[in-house]
Amino acid sequence: MINLMDYYNELSDEAAKKILKCTVQIFKRITIIEPIALEPYASGVLVQLSDRFFMVTASHVIDTENLENLGILIDSSFTILNGKVVFSKSEKDKELDQVDIAVWELAKEVVVDLQSKFTFLDLKCIDINHAIVTDRPYLLVGYPISRTKIIYTLKKVKSEPFVFTTKASNIEYTRLNCNKNINIVLDYEKEKILGEKTKGVHTGPDPYGISGSGIWYLPKLIYKDIKNVEPHLIGILHTWVEAENVIIGSKMNIINELIIEKFNIDIPHSSTIGLS
């Protein structure tokens, strides 16, 4: 008989497989002369809202002066992220000081390229009204820079995703200049990471590069067939506070409202927040 921990590990593994299908690693192009030199940069999540296609990531990793050099590797082909990008941060939006988000509406040709390898997360798997829980784990999946190796002689990139389980931190949000209504703070003790292949406690990487990756929650834990697991996107990770052993993300409620406002798209509003 399988025990509960083994069952949850298998469930998390299956969820991670689905999450990786809509999680991309963002690279920065350093040179445009062949062979193109790239460096790993950040992570992002692909989402489909109505009939439009977006990538959500962290705004602090986006170099606004060199947007044409940011892209995603599809096999060995570098696809530039053409499209319209908006940022959460501005001098007017003081409420959004800890909402470190960039949203790209991707050009049609980029969408077609990405769909050859990735999937776009459906709206039904995005929780725009998530209430933080302390008795259930959260799942994070992203691409640390330290786990990416570029082999120029072979024109090959090896990227190992980081999949781990954590829980909501009990730290005072005001201490981090965060707001529980729009932020989520999670524990990240590098030396006490749960998850991945060992299924035990181990030391995790510095989380540089996983900025922009998703924060996921499993609203249902019991399945006849774990292949039917349906992870829900509840936030986007963007800040590591090493001294406090925590990582900070922005909840999908505020991201959803940002998308509605900036892209004039007809999708449901969050019932927990509004930008107006």
Predicted confidence (pLDDT) at residue 160 exceeds the cutoff of 70: yes
Predicted confidence (pLDDT) at residue 139 exceeds the cutoff of 50: yes
Predicted confidence (pLDDT) at residue 239 exceeds the cutoff of 60: yes
Predicted confidence (pLDDT) at residue 188 exceeds the cutoff of 70: yes
Contact (Cβ atoms closer than 8 angstroms) between residue 120 and residue 47? yes
Amino acid residing at 252: M
Which band of pLDDT confidence, cut at 50, 70 and 90, is reported for residue 121?
Answer: very high
Regarding beta strands 183-187 and 70-74, do their DSSP bridges make them parallel or antiparallel, or are they unpaired?
A: unpaired
Contact (Cβ atoms closer than 8 angstroms) between residue 232 and residue 216? yes
**Which domains are assigned to the chain?**
4-263 (2.40.10.120)
190-201 pLDDT per residue, tens: 877 765 555 567
What is the pLDDT at residue 97? 58
What is the pLDDT at residue 91? 44
Tokens 């002369």 — which residue?
Answer: 33
What is the pLDDT at residue 89? 65
Predicted confidence (pLDDT) at residue 171 exceeds the cutoff of 70: yes
CA nearest 143: which of 206, 88, 80, 191?
206
CA 167/CA 187 separation, integer angstroms:
6
Predicted confidence (pLDDT) at residue 153 exceeds the cutoff of 90: no
Tokens of 158: 């090896």
What DSSP line would sit under 194-215, residue for residue? E-STT-SEEPPPP-TT-TT-EE
Average pLDDT rounded to a whole number, residues 132-140: 93
258: burial class by Cβ within 10 Å (0-12, 13-18, 19+)? buried
Mean of per-residue pLDDT scores for the chain: 88
Q: Which of 23-37, 79-93, 206-220 is least confident? A: 79-93
- Greater confidence (75 vs 50) lies with 50
What DSSP line would sit under 204-268, residue for residue? PPP-TT-TT-EEEE-S----SSGGG---EEEEEEEEEEGGGTEEEEEEHHHHHHHHHHHH----P
